[in-house]
Amino acid sequence: VEDNPFMQFGRKWEPFIARWVQAETGILHSTWLIASADDPTFAATPDGLALDHTLTAEIKTSGKPLDKVPAQYRRQVQWQLFVTGAEKCAFTWFLRGEDFQPAELEPHMQWIGRDEKEIKRLITVAERLRETLCLDSI
C-alpha cells in the first residue's frame, strides 16, 4: 500500500493516542504480531494489550465522527479478541481535521465485548480461505 497523508496522520498520532488509552485503561501500546494459542496460523496485531491479556485496544483515526463502529472494524476487533483470548477491546478513534491536524483535544473510546457468534463465523471464513489457498500444510 502506497503511503499517503491519511496513513501518515495515523502513524504520527498513534503513540499519543496509545498513551491516552493507557492512562484511561491501563492497556499498553503494542506493535506485536500475536498468534492464537489454538492455531498459530491465526494471528492479529492489536494496537494495545493488557498485561493479563484480558483487554485489547484498537486505534483508528478518522476524518469524520465514528458514531457507530464500522462493520470492518468490529470484525477486526472480534478477530483480535479471539486470537488474544481477551474479553473486550477499547476501540479508540481520533478525529482528523481537513488540514491533517487534530480536530479535537482527546480521542474517543468505546468498549466492544466478545461476540462468540461472530468469532465462530470469522474462524469459518479463515479456515475456508486457508483451504482455498492450500495453506493447510503450514
Q: What is the mean pLDDT of each run of 10 residues along the chain (138 residues)?
A: 91 96 98 93 97 97 95 98 98 96 95 98 94 72
Question: What is the per-residue pLDDT for 80?
Answer: 98
Question: What is the per-residue pLDDT for 138?
Answer: 52
pTM, entire model: 0.91
CA angle 73, 36, 72 (to 5 degrees): 10
Which candidate, 34, 4, 25, places its Cα nearest to that of 92?
25
Question: What is the per-residue pLDDT for 135?
Answer: 64
Question: What is the per-residue pLDDT for 2?
Answer: 85
Q: How far is CA 22 from CA 26, 32, 60, 96, 123, in A?
A: 4, 16, 15, 21, 29
Question: What is the per-residue pLDDT for 136?
Answer: 59
Distance CA(100)–CA(59), nearest Å, equals 17
Distance CA(54)–CA(41), nearest Å, equals 21
Distance CA(102)–CA(36), nearest Å, equals 35
Q: Say if residues 53 and 88 touch (Cβ distance below 8 Å).
A: no
Question: What is the per-residue pLDDT for 1?
Answer: 74
For 88, the grid coordinates are 473486550
Question: What is the per-residue pLDDT for 5?
Answer: 94
Could you give the 3-state DSSP secondary structure of residue 138?
Answer: coil
